[in-house]
Structure 1
Amino acid sequence: MSKLSQVITIAVFLSLTSPTNAEILPPGNRPLPPGHHALIHAKVVVKPGVTINGATVIIRDGRIQAVTENGQTPETAREWDMTGLTLYAGFIDPYVTEAVPISTTMTQSITGTGATAAGKPGFLGAPGNELDPGSTGPGSGLSTMKPEHDVTETFSPKTDSYETLREQGFTAAVLTPANGIIRGQSALISLGQGSPNLLVIKPQLFQHIVFDTKASKPNEYPKSLMGVISAIRQTLSDAEHYNDTWEYYQANADTFKRPAYNKSLDTLQATLKNRQLVIIEPGSVLMVNKAARLASEFGINPLIVATGHEWRRPDLVMANGSRFIVPINLPKAPNMPSDSDWERVSLDLLRAWDWAPENPVLLQKNGLEIALTTHGI
């Protein structure tokens, strides 16, 4: 428990256990509102390198209203003396998901059976070639393409779901879908406790694309990295054609047959028209460049989830100028019982141990915007 939590807990306990005075309050007396607080005499870190000493922090209904130096406490606020304590704004994790980080440095071989497996994508304009996506309602012909998925539909956290993040100083996070290739829409959530209605800050925040070669069902396309990228391109191309067809129909409704409704393709219109940002997890440094080129093909300005190996090919990374979400899941420190064990460690692994901690700095020093995440830890 933090010092602030201890102070508040003790104060509440004393207020409940101390004897009440026999004072009779006048008619119409209003008690101090429980959601209005003033943290006084605090040392506040506003941002790196900027500190306010003797600060007063005004909080109303869970929101910070003001941070001032030696500010006055409003009459309706409850005072909490923070002398000797340091306060800072809560961290925001931009990529929280139950899925483990993917790797596209190597993919499994495809057998003849796998190459001809059921679940190949249908082609627009070929009636009867549509596939069952494995879920109810209209949607994509591939179960891995579900841009309409919204994480808030099943968002119901337990009281300890995000306890670890809270203990590390995080107060909000982007909750990210965990399954599929085009996985759907994330949401910015509060990591507090309470009703899901109150914890969702902004729904349908980002669209998520992951180069996951293991996302499809056993007998479903795609199974290779080339197939994954092809399926993404086909889906985005279908979404563009879907939009053009509907626009033509709306202009020629008297002479043109109404197109079929496709919820997946309809949802992707926000992405293609840059109303909704896209986060792409490529899985390897070579695919970082491929992700940027894929996004550029469809006029999308993506955020890229870094792989931790961008130091291997900085030329590819710097060329596209994308923004990065950088995991801090650094390699574990080596434990070699004897000096001779080091002889079996490859030069490539030694370089990875040496360069991994510098990856965020490398990106930032080359003028790329980054945000850090605990993804993969």
Structure 2
Amino acid sequence: MAAADPSPQELKEAIRARAHALGFDAVGFAPAALDDRDRDRLARALAEGWHGGMEWMAETAERRGDPRSLWPEVRSVIVLGLSYAPADDPLELLEHRDRGVISVYARNRDYHDLIKGRLKQIAQWMHQRFDAGVKVFVDTAPVMEKPLAARSGVGWQGKHTVLVSRRHGSWLFLGEIFTTLDLPADPPERDRCGTCRRCQDICPTGAFPAPYTLDARRCIAYLTNEHHGPIPEEFREAIGNRIYGCDDCLAVCPWNSFAAASREAAFLPREALTAPKLADLARLDDAAFRALFTASPIKRLGRHRFVRNVLIALGNSGDPAMAAVAAERLDDADETVRDAARWAVARLRPSRGIPTESN
């Protein structure tokens, strides 16, 4: 007698077990749909210009608002999370002004490659085992992954707009598998932020117009990672020594107290990227930059924007001796770097005014 086909619930639990076996820390199942509130929130952000120079968000808005516009055959979305929770307080490095602070998620390998590889393993297994149609996505695709994660029960979208998990706090990388399987959805997670507004209050640049809304144009993560050209002067002092990203609003979330440090070896911080000397980073040429950030998400930034960030941090170091280091970049081939160098030297040697040449 032939074995009965697995029920949708049995399919779901088999997929969950497979995901956990491959190292994922959170797994949730959602219907392939979003509600009007999610689309309205996106529309308002775009109308207000809060996406800044990320024009691709506006260009893909219609597809973002409906998973079926990406793939009409999709019936269920599997949301998978991988913890990158740090072992130490990432805000402690902000006090060491001669060192650069790199966001926790970027202190080792690029998570996109690792997560996508594991998603493909699960998707291939689902196709072979259950004859399922599958597509995998990480955050480079026009998928509203945080609302989907909330609908899947993995967490809720906090007041800082990042996903929050009761078990993993604010430290989850997300990936999605779209499938033609019609799987039972998990109960959505309810918002548990309550009256807390620590993430709003700590933001150095006031990037939150209101709870659950982010103006990327004021966000240090956007300014250091996505923004092209000179960083607006009104934000430079507030950037401090952050040279790639910002963890402030994530780090102060009370739910992080339940998060165990990540056990994923690829996310453990490389020593060279944990508290690098600003003086060394300011002297990177293109070849040295590429060598240092091989397999790192920082590599896509390019040497010029990265050194721009480093020079802003040098200008905030408060150490007049660092002016000589910044002055080495006054004749840099890139105008954005030269602009940041002029600003840094003027900050560190205010009595001499804004320099116009390297001497």
Whether TM exceeds 0.5 here: the answer is no
Larger radius of gyration: 1
More helix by share: 2
Q: Which has the higher contact order (CA 8 A, sep 6+)?
A: 2
TM-score (norm 1): 0.23
More strand by share: 1
TM-score (norm 2): 0.24
